[in-house]
Amino acid sequence: MNRDVKNDNNKDAMNNGKIDEKRRDVLKLMAVGAAITSIPLVDKEKLMKVLKPVKLEGMLDYPLGGPSDSQSALEKRAKKKEAKLKKWCQKEARKVCEKYGESSEECKLVKQKCKLLVVKATPPKKGVRYAMALDLNKCIGCRRCVYACVMENNQARNLHIEWIRVLEANRMEFQDLLGSQWYYKEGPKKDKVYIPIACMHCEKPPCVMVCPVRATFKEPDGIVVIDYDRCIGCRYCEVACPYGARRFNWKKPYIPVLELNPNMHILGNVPRQIHVMEKCTWCIQRTRDGGVPACVEVCPVGARVFGNLNDPNSPIRRIAEEYGLFVLKPDAGTHPKFFYFFGPARTPPREGAASTSKEAQNGGGSK
C-alpha cells in the first residue's frame, strides 16, 4: 500500500514538473554511506599509497627547514656585515685611543682588531659529521669553558648570556637533572659530578621543527645554526628545546670593542642584535677552518673531545670504541651529537686512591 502511495506522490510530483527533494536527499545520503562503508574493502596497498605522508623534505633544499639563502647570498650578507662592523670598530677605536692615548697598549690592540676583523661565510665541508664527547669523570666544574665561550663567541657582556651551563649533581642519580643546580660557588667536591650542558646539535632538533620562519636549521656537517638576520624572536625554539640550550637577547647586547673577537662567522659569533635567539655553534668560525671549539682548547683537564664522526681515526671514534658514549635525556628522542662518557680516571680522585691519581691525571689510565 505504502509503495503505491509513494508512487502516486511521485507521479504527482512529476506531473507538477517538480522533483521530490526528500527522495533525492535520501539517495545522496545512501551514496555517501556506501562510499564510507566501502573504505575497508579497498585494496590495502592502494590505500597505503594514497595515505603515504607527503615528504616535505624533498620540496626544500635542506632536510628540515633550511636557509632560503644560497651560499653566494650568505657571502654577500657577510661582506655587508663586515663593512658595517669595521666602521663601528673604527669609531669605537677612536674613542679608546682618545681615552688611553695614541701610544697605549689598548689603542694598538683595538687598531689591530679592526684590521683583523673578518666576517666569514665558510660553507660546511663535505662528508664531515661533527660530534663532541665529555668525560664526566674528569670535569672539575671550573667553568673555564664557559668563560672561554663568552670571549670567543662575542656574547653580550651586559646580559650574562652563557651558552654553556655547568650543572652540579649528585653522583647517585645524576641523570635526574631536577636535583642539580648551576649556582654552586665552590668546587670540585668529591661527592658531586659536574655536567656541562650546551647545545646538543641533535640529529632531530625540535627547535628546527618549531621555528616558524626557518631561521634555525641543521647544516650538513651536523651543526645547528641560527640566522640572526631572520630570527623574529618568538622564542618557540627556547620552549621546545629539552636541554635549555638557547639564549635570548632580552636587551640590546653590548660588547666592549677591547674584548671583541675579530674572527667571526655570519652564522656564528657575529655580534647579535636585540630580540634574537642564540646558542652554541661549536665555534663554527674555528671548526669549519679545521680548528676545535674554544671550550675544547681551554679545558684544563682535557675532558672534552671533538671530532669528525665519519673519520675512523678521529678521537671521538676512539673514545666511542674505548669507553662507550651516552647522551642526556635519551627519551627526548632527539639523538644528540653531544655525548658523555665516564673515563678511566677521576679528578679529583676518590679518597684512598691518592697514590694513583697522578698517573691517572696524566691521561694514562692504564692499569
Partner 1 sequence: MSWKDWWDTFVIIIKDGFKGSKRYYLAMVGLTLIFLYGFYLWFFIQHAPVFLHTDYGGLALTGMNDSDPWGLYIAFFIYWVGVAAAGIAFGVAAYIFQDKELLKIAVLGEVQAVAALIIVLALVGFADLGRPIRAMFELPFLPNLHSMLDWDFIVISTYLTINLVAVYVTIHYYRQDKPLPKKFIIPYIVLAAPFAIGIHTVTGFIFQALRARPIWNTSLLAPSFVATALAAGPAMVLLAIYLAERYIDGFSVSAEMYKKIIYIIAGGLIVGLYFTFSDAQEIFWYTTEPMKWAQARNLFYGLHLPYLAVLEWIWISFAVAAVLLSFIPSTHRSKGAMAFIAILTIIAVTSEKTLATLVPGFTPSTLGEIRPYHPTPIEYGIALGVHALGIMIYLWLARPAIKAVMTHYFKPGIKTATVPENSAH
Instruction: Choose between 182 and 306: whose C-beta lies nearer to partner 1.
Output: 182
Among 252, 335, 350, 358, binds partner 1 (CB under 8 A): 252
Burial of 268 (0-12, 13-18, 19+ CB in 10 A): buried
Cα angle 353-359-364, degrees, rounded to a multiple of 5:
120
Q: Name all contacts of 318-323 with Cβ < 8 Å and 24+ positions apart.
A: 319/133, 320/133
Q: Does 177 contact partner 1 by CB under 8 A? A: yes
Q: Which stretch binds partner 1 (CB under 8 A): 235-243, 286-294, 317-325, 352-360?
A: 235-243
Q: How far apart are CA 300 and CA 303, in angstroms?
A: 8
The contact mask relative to partner 1 for 256-275 (x = CB under 8 A, - = no) is ------------------xx
The contact mask relative to partner 1 for 24-63 (x = CB under 8 A, - = no) is --------------------------------x-------
Q: Length of the chain, please?
A: 367
Rounded to 5 degrees, φ, ψ at 302 are: 65, 40
Q: Which stretch binds partner 1 (CB under 8 A): 83-91, 111-119, 206-214, 304-312?
A: 206-214
Instruction: Choose between 236 and 326: whose C-beta lies nearer to partner 1.
Output: 236
348 preceded by cis ω (within 30°)? yes
Retrieve residue 147's grid coordinates.
668563560
| Window 296-335: residues binding partner 1 (CB under 8 A) | 331-334
Retrieve residue 293's grid coordinates.
671549539
Instruction: Choose between 64 and 258: whose C-beta lies nearer to partner 1.
Output: 64
The site for partner 1, by CB under 8 A, has a size of 52
Instruction: Choose between 275 and 317: whose C-beta lies nearer to partner 1.
Output: 275
Among 80, 251, 335, 358, binds partner 1 (CB under 8 A): 251
End-to-end CA distance of the chain: 102
Q: How far apart are CA 153 and CA 306, in angstroms?
A: 18
Instruction: Choose between 218 and 288: whose C-beta lies nearer to partner 1.
Output: 218
Antiparallel, parallel or unpaired: β 216-218 and 224-226: antiparallel
Residue at grid coordinates 506522490: 9
Instruction: Choose between 277 and 305: whose C-beta lies nearer to partner 1.
Output: 277
Q: Does 101 contact partner 1 by CB under 8 A? A: no
Q: Which stretch binds partner 1 (CB under 8 A): 72-80, 171-179, 296-304, 352-360?
A: 171-179
Instruction: Choose between 200 and 296: whose C-beta lies nearer to partner 1.
Output: 200
Instruction: Choose between 156 and 260: whose C-beta lies nearer to partner 1.
Output: 156
Instruction: Choose between 278 and 285: whose C-beta lies nearer to partner 1.
Output: 278
Q: Does 214 contact partner 1 by CB under 8 A? A: yes
Q: Which stretch binds partner 1 (CB under 8 A): 92-100, 124-132, 210-218, 301-309?
A: 210-218
> Per-residue DSSP letters for 187-250?
---TTEEEEEE-----SS-HHHHH-TT--EEE-TTS-EEE-TTT-----HHHHH-TT---EE--
Among 220, 244, 349, 365, binds partner 1 (CB under 8 A): 244
| Window 181-200: residues binding partner 1 (CB under 8 A) | 181-182, 197
Rounded to 5 degrees, φ, ψ at 199 are: -60, 135
**Helix H or strand E segment including 265:** strand 263-265
Q: How far is CA 116 from the centre of its chain?
A: 28
> What residues line the site for partner 1 (CB under 8 A)?
56, 64-65, 68, 159, 165, 167, 176-182, 197, 206, 208-215, 230-236, 238-244, 246-252, 274-276, 331-334
